[in-house]
């Protein structure tokens, strides 16, 4: 049995926590500048953040907000905390950057610092390092947020007693936009989470950000 | 809870096409890796493992003589191995009960190169787009699930598939994986200075890095026992939570995955007859694995790495190595760790140094990768009583 403890949604310069608007940023900023403002607003001091690609930065910030004031580490063993993330475009921004270093044979300079970020599960790795998460971890690729996949798989991990807590959601960034939807799920005596619950929460956020836009 | 049985398998590697060709070459200790001088992949020569592309083109054409759509190499490999594997299956697969899982690290990444970019629609670079084409081709009812979790993708795809069957969500899961050699990936590993300029030497004192390879493979899982020769007992993944590009120094992450897989399988370490390790032949990976196996009390269990035969095939690695190890279990054979001569890791693990007959009923397959991620899965021989 599980329950959704907290959820966050960050897209189109707005950040919501449990449906409440927490931050909004100037809409004329590029997302790099938006992420930087959020990092500052959170008063973080984590030098590794500046080495990350934008996908990892987005996931990292989403997890920071989700786990602010959380007792996750006190309540759960590291190997019993799972992380199940979906994404659509894999690491397309860093892929493009790495490819550009190969296009000119006279100035061929592939960089290991870029290359490592051409794997989408580096974002889960960064979150695991920051929050000492050592349990089940998986990166699914899907054309859009797939609530059924997350609900079914996460519930199975709880059922099998593989985990007692889980970060789950959808972290996507591409040339046009970014979106982070992240939930903290823990075991409890309540009913298991289901696909419909996730769809309801997600659609409510989507409607809200679209309303803001107009 | 449903049991999970392994059914038809198929693979294409640098050693050949299908299980028999691959097993014959493995038993004869032949490597598919060579020095590759090809500007398509790299301005510098590197040691790697290539599928025989001309033969593949011919066999693909024979398998699918009249296709109306053009497919990329990555997609063709998946279409081919899936078609070959489903030919031997007696139950229908295009129903609501069947899921296809694709495992890959970089899919169609070769399409990012300047020379390819204008030939394909923009979205073709994404794994979900390839998956849509494959779903349509085989007329599969369900959306394809895709796993891209670095070098554990293949093992994890089997693990996720097994969980879906155990939960009753699906009756059959086709687990397919592929990754191809590309300039993108070769240059990246070169920049890490992790490519060896010679045949890779897993767990050896003179190991000097990995060989990259390309491969495609399929393994079909089902809750149906009929004609199955192996089953999945349990599996797990874990994270080092230590470093994104280097494995844990202590091996604790992989150890956690092994421990969790053993627990789910309801067996103890001494019931394992063999371990198919990741064994990439980089300094840090092999050392970490030796420590993890030692922590799990597995020092005396025969362990091999198959990377010397076809290199590191990334998202396909966990699949090809599981498939071949299942076949070797069936035939009670331990396959030599090609390239291993002098013990070169700190723990006294039992690296298989020569191919020999050995009773295998249960074995462990492990994998580890960038992002600090690890996976473990346990297979057991299944003898039909009918």
- pLDDT tens digit string along B32-66? 999 999 999 999 999 999 999 999 999 999 999 99
Whether the per-residue pLDDT at A213 is higher than 60: the answer is no
Residue B159 has a pLDDT of 98
Question: Who's near B27: CB < 8 A, 6+ residues apart?
Answer: B333, B335, B355
Instruction: Please indicate if any CB of chain A lies within 8 Å of the CB of B238.
Output: yes
Tally of domains within chain B: 2
Instruction: Please indicate if any CB of chain B lies within 8 Å of the CB of A177.
Output: no
- Specify whether domain A2-213 bears CATH 3.40.47.10: yes
Instruction: Please indicate if any CB of chain B lies within 8 Å of the CB of A51.
Output: no
Q: What is the 3-state secondary structure (H, E, C) of chain B?
A: CCCEEEEEEEEEECCEEHHHHHHHHHHCCCCCEEEECCCCCCCCCEEEECCCHHHHHHHHHHHCCCCCCCCCHHHHHHHHHHHHHHCCCCCCCCCCCEEEEEECCCCCHHHHCHHHHCCCCHHHHCHHHHHHHHHHHCCCCCCCEEECCHHHHHHHHHHHHHHHHHCCCCCEEEEEEEECCCHHHHHHHHHCCCECCCCCCCCECCCCCECEECEEEEEEEECCCCCCCEEEEEEEEEECCCCCCCCCCCCHHHHHHHHHHHHHHCCCHHHCCEEECCCCCCHHHHHHHHHHHHHCCCCCCEEECCHHHHCECHHHHHHHHHHHHHHHHHCCEECCCCCCCCECCCCCCEECCCCEECCCCEEEEEEEECCCEEEEEEEEECCCCC
C-beta separation of A82 from A162 below 8 A: yes
The chain-wide mean pLDDT, for chain B, equals 96
Instruction: Please indicate if any CB of chain A lies within 8 Å of the CB of B190.
Output: yes
Distance CA A19, CA A22 (A): 9
Distance CA A174, CA A171 (A): 10
Residue B386 has a pLDDT of 43
Whether the per-residue pLDDT at B161 is higher than 90: the answer is yes
What kind and span of H or E run contains A157? helix A147-159
| Structural domain spans, chain A | 2-213
Least confident among A46-50, A108-112, A127-131, B292-296: A108-112
Whether the per-residue pLDDT at B30 is higher than 60: the answer is yes
> Inter-chain contact A134–B256, Cβ cutoff 8 Å?
yes
**DSSP character for A68?**
T
The domain boundary residue, chosen from B155, B189, B222: B222
Taking Cα atoms as reference points, which of B153, B157, B378, B98 lies closest to residue B258? Answer: B378
Residue B1 has a pLDDT of 75
Residue of B nearest to A142 (CA): B128
> Inter-chain contact B184–A95, Cβ cutoff 8 Å?
yes
The H-assigned helical ranges of A31-116 are 31-41, 54-67, 72-75, 92-103, 112-115
E strands in chain A: 2-11, 14-17, 20-24, 81-87, 137-141, 165-173, 178-187
Same domain, B182 and B243: no
Residue B384 has a pLDDT of 60
C-beta separation of B239 from A133 below 8 A: yes
ipTM over 0.90: yes
B268 located within any domain: yes
Same domain, B149 and B191: yes
Same domain, B216 and B77: yes
> Inter-chain contact B253–A134, Cβ cutoff 8 Å?
yes
Residue A1 has a pLDDT of 67
CA distance A70 to chain B (A): 18
C-beta separation of B69 from B133 below 8 A: yes
Chain A residues in contact with B177 (beta carbon < 8 A): none
Same domain, B191 and B259: no
Residue of B nearest to A159 (CA): B167
Same domain, B315 and B249: yes
Of A89, A110, A135, the CB nearest to B126: A89
Same domain, B282 and B148: no
Structure tokens at B368: 């580890």
pLDDT in tens, A90-102: 999 999 999 999 9
CATH number where B325 lies = 3.40.47.10
B85-122 in b/e form (b: 16+ CB < 10 A) is bbeebeeebeeebbbbbbbbbbbbbbbbeeeeeeeeee
C-beta separation of A117 from A101 below 8 A: no
Structure tokens at B209: 């890095």
Instruction: Please indicate if any CB of chain B lies within 8 Å of the CB of A145.
Output: no
Mean pLDDT of B331-348: 98
B-contacting residues in A 58-87 (Cβ below 8 Å)? 78-79, 83
Whether the per-residue pLDDT at A212 is higher than 90: the answer is no
Taking Cα atoms as reference points, which of B342, B367, B361 lies closest to residue B353? Answer: B342
Residue of A nearest to B113 (CA): A99
Same domain, B361 and B304: yes
CA distance A190 to chain B (A): 19
Domain that holds residue B373: 230-381
Whether the per-residue pLDDT at B313 is higher than 80: the answer is yes
CA distance A126 to chain B (A): 7
Whether the per-residue pLDDT at B15 is higher than 80: the answer is yes
The domain boundary residue, chosen from B222, B245, B272: B222
CA distance B183 to chain A (A): 8
pLDDT in tens, A148-171: 999 999 999 999 999 999 999 999
pLDDT in tens, B222-261: 999 988 999 999 999 999 999 999 899 999 999 999 999 9
Q: Strand A137-141 vs strand A81-87: parallel, antiparallel, or unpaired?
A: parallel
B386 located within any domain: no
C-beta separation of B359 from B332 below 8 A: yes
Site of tokens 């930065």:
A57
B-contacting residues in A 6-35 (Cβ below 8 Å)? none
Q: Strand A137-141 vs strand B145-147: parallel, antiparallel, or unpaired?
A: antiparallel
The chain-wide mean pLDDT, for chain A, equals 94
Distance CA B335, CA A143 (A): 40
pLDDT in tens, A2-33: 899 999 999 999 999 999 999 999 887 789 99
Structure tokens at B63: 């398998």
Residue A102 three-state SS: helix
C-beta separation of B51 from B13 below 8 A: yes
The domain boundary residue, chosen from B222, B246, B267: B222
Q: Which of A77, A93, A120, A134 to mutate against chain B (most B CBs within 10 Å)?
A: A134
Whether the per-residue pLDDT at B315 is higher than 80: the answer is yes
- pLDDT band of residue A109 (cuts 50, 70, 90) is confident
Instruction: Please indicate if any CB of chain B lies within 8 Å of the CB of A95.
Output: yes
């Amino acid at each position: 049995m599980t329950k959704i403890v907290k959820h966050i949604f960050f897209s189109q310069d707005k950040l919501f926590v449990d449906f409440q608007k927490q931050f909004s940023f100037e809409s004329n900023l590029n997302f790099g500048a938006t992420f930087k403002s959020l990092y500052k607003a959170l008063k973080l001091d984590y030098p590794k953040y500046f080495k990350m690609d934008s996908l990892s930065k987005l996931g990292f910030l989403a997890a920071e907000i989700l786990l602010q004031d959380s007792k996750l580490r006190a309540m759960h063993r590291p190997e019993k905390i799972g992380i199940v993330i979906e994404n659509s475009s894999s690491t397309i921004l860093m892929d493009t950057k790495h490819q550009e270093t190969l296009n000119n044979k006279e100035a061929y300079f592939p960089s290991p610092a870029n290359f490592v970020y051409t794997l989408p599960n580096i974002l889960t790795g960064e979150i695991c390092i920051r929050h000492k998460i050592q349990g089940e971890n998986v990166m699914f690729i899907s054309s859009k947020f797939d609530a059924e996949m997350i609900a079914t798989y996460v519930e199975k991990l709880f059922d099998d007693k593989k985990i007692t807590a889980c970060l789950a959601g959808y972290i996507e960034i591409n040339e046009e936009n970014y979106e982070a939807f992240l939930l903290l799920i823990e075991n409890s005596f309540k009913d298991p989470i289901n696909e419909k619950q996730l769809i309801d929460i997600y659609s409510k956020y989507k409607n809200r950000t679209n309303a803001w836009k107009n | 809870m449903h049991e999970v049985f392994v059914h038809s398998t198929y693979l294409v590697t640098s050693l050949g096409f299908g299980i028999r060709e691959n097993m014959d070459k493995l038993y004869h200790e032949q490597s598919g890796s060579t020095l590759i001088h090809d500007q398509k992949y790299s301005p510098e020569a590197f040691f790697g493992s290539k599928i025989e592309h001309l033969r593949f083109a011919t066999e693909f054409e024979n398998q699918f003589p009249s296709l109306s759509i053009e497919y990329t190499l990555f997609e063709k490999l998946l279409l081919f191995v899936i078609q070959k594997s489903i030919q031997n299956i007696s139950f229908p697969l295009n129903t609501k009960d069947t899921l296809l899982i694709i495992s890959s690290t970089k899919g169609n990444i070769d399409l990012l190169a300047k020379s390819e970019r204008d030939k394909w629609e923009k979205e073709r670079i994404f794994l979900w787009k390839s998956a849509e084409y494959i779903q349509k081709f085989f007329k599969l009812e369900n959306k394809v699930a895709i796993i891209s979790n670095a070098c554990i993708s293949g093992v994890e795809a089997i693990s996720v598939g097994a969980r879906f069957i155990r939960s009753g969500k699906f009756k059959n899961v086709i687990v397919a994986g592929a990754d191809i050699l590309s300039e993108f990936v070769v240059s990246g590993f070169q920049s890490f200075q992790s490519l060896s300029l010679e045949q890779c030497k897993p767990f050896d004192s003179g190991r000097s890095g990995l060989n990259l390879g390309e491969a495609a493979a399929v393994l079909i899982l089902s809750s149906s026992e009929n004609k199955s020769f192996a089953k999945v007992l349990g599996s797990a993944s874990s994270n080092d939570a230590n470093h994104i590009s280097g494995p844990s120094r202590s091996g604790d992450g992989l150890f956690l995955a092994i421990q969790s897989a053993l627990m789910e399988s309801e067996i103890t370490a001494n019931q394992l007859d063999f371990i198919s390790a990741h064994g990439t032949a980089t300094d840090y990976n092999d050392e970490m694995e030796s420590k993890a196996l030692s922590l799990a009390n597995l020092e005396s269990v025969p362990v091999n790495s198959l990377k010397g035969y076809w290199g590191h095939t990334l998202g396909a690695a966990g699949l090809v190595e599981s498939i071949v190890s299942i076949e070797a279990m069936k035939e009670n054979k331990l396959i030599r760790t090609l390239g291993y001569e002098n013990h070169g890791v700190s723990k006294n693990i039992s690296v298989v140094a020569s191919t020999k007959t050995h009773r295998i009923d249960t074995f462990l397959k492990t994998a580890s990768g960038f992002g600090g991620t690890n996976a473990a899965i346990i297979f057991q021989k299944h003898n039909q009583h009918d």
